[in-house]
Amino acid sequence: MKIIERHIYSDKIIPFFDKGIIKVLTGQRRVGKSFLLKQLMDAVATQYKDANIIYINKEFEKFRHIESEVELFRYINENLLDSAKNFLFIDEIQDIVGFEHVLRSLQAENKCDITCTGSNAKMLSSELATYLSGRYIEFYIHSLSYTEFLELHELENSDNSLKLFLTYGGMPYLSRLQLEEEYVLEYLKNVFSTILLKDVVSRENIRNVAFLETLIAYLADNVGSLFSANNIHKYLKSQRIDISVNIILNYLRALSNAYIIHKVQRTDVNGLKKFEIGEKYYFEDLGLRNCQQNIDLSRDIHKLMENAIYQHLKILGYEVFVGQLDKLEIDFVGVKKGQKVYVQSAYLITDEKTHEREFGNLLKIQDSYPKYVVTMDSFSAGGNFQGINCIHLKDFLSKTAI
């Protein structure tokens, strides 16, 4: 299997080694956190010649006995060396009960440098914030970006490669499979079932699994649509499914905690004031979204484009919102270090009405931050209209900075 260097993450993480701060790599299962952890271990071994590396992977049978803080502390103490600089790496740390007590003790005594991964936001945020406030830094790891997908699968940046990415997504293991529907969908369905069982149903004590699956199908079909828990409740009621708004909110939160979906709030473009009602949901990985239903690229292309744009903005480090300008909608407002970028998604720009909607909304924004219309219309892409860049999706997803 080909392995690629994920410099967009490693370059941010490596400077924090040997600085007395815990590094926590978070993100959905199977997005490549384990491989990144091994790359970081290799970097440590190269940079620190006297490094003693202690590695624990809770998905390996040899570490199955480490279930609580007692076994974890014992194993680490047995492997620490007084004559070396100790580095501790723990994969899927949320599977060890009471892990936070061990990390706090190790850090307080300066016994080792600590890096760990985790796949549940609720557990990590509550335990780490409570016991390790100010002593750790979190790095969110996404599934493969478009350029990483091209590199791993050794593909050119073409329309066909873009369609493969939009269809199958960026789960790294796909490099071991042929990018054909019968192989990929079977793998993705198994991955999704594992994530759902381990990080949602079991960890969140979900009782109504049938409704959870119905909710996921609804979210997959409504990617990029504005709605609220009340809207979902009304829709379900029309289908003769009576589920309370609170349960819907709890299940949405559980899916978000497992990093399967991401909630994007609406904000006022002029002041970035957040609206409490109405949000959009996007999937962490396009392939996992698509395996929930029969793939139909022509039917879902608008949704997949939006999801891909959202994901890329997040990978580039933007906090992302849905923009509201009076009664007009801006698909995405990205904010990073006090700077903004505005993005509209338009599959094809075939008539004046579409042109006016996509470019006109952006022209009404009274500031000089970058503005993009992202399209799959090869005839329109590459131009500039009154300062607004019109760019093809495959070129937008290839940008390392905006």
Q: How far is CA 194 from CA 95, 187, 189, 200, 311, in A?
A: 14, 11, 9, 9, 22
- Whether residue 126 is predicted with pLDDT greater than 80 in this model: the reply is no
Determine what percent of the chain is predicted with pLDDT higher than 90. Answer: 76
Mean pLDDT of 346-367: 91
Q: What is the pLDDT of residue 296?
A: 82
- Domain boundary, last residue among 140, 175, 201: 140
Q: Packing angle between helix 121-131 and helix 245-257, nearest 10 degrees?
A: 80
Residue 2 falls inside a structural domain? no
Within 8 A by CB and 6+ apart from 371, the residues are: 341, 342, 343, 362, 365, 387, 388, 389
In a domain, 321, yes or no: yes
Same domain membership, residue 135 and residue 160? no
**Mean pLDDT over all residues of the chain?**
92
282 assigned to some structural domain: yes
CA angle 35, 40, 44 (to 5 degrees): 145
- Determine the Cα–Cα distance for residues 207 and 160; give it in Å rounded to an integer: 42
C-beta of residue 374 within 8 angstroms of C-beta of residue 345: yes
Average pLDDT over residues 153-177: 96
pLDDT at 84: 96
* Cα 148 from Cα 170, distance rounded (Å): 8
Residue 331 has pLDDT above 70, yes or no: yes
Domain boundary (90, 120, 140) is at 140
Q: What is the pLDDT of residue 1?
A: 63
Q: Is 134 in the same domain as 208? A: no
Does 126 share its domain with 197?
no
130 and 155 in a single domain? The answer is no
**What is the per-residue pLDDT for 228?**
85
Beta bridge partners of 140: 26
Q: Are residue 254 and residue 109 in the same domain, yes or no?
A: no
Domain that holds residue 40: 7-140
Question: Where among 140, 167, 187 does a domain terminate?
Answer: 140
Indicate whether 99 and 187 sit together in one domain: no
Residue 237, token pair as written in the block: 């009621």
Check whether residue 131 and residue 248 sit in a common domain. no
Could you tell me if residue 401 is inside a domain? no
pTM score of the predicted model? 0.94
The per-residue pLDDT for range 229-257, each reduced to its tens digit, is: 888 888 888 888 889 999 999 999 999 99
Q: Is residue 285 part of a domain?
A: yes
Tens digit of each residue's pLDDT (9 = 90 or more) over 24-39:
999 999 999 999 999 9
Q: What is the mean predicted confidence (pLDDT) over 332-361?
A: 93
**Number of folded domains that form the chain:** 2
pLDDT: which is higher, 310 or 135: 310
pLDDT for the residue numbered 123: 66
Residue 70 pLDDT exceeds 70:
yes
b/e map 170-199, b = 16+ CB within 10 Å: bbbebbeeebeeeebbebbeebbeebbebb
Q: Are residues 308 and 329 in the same domain?
A: yes
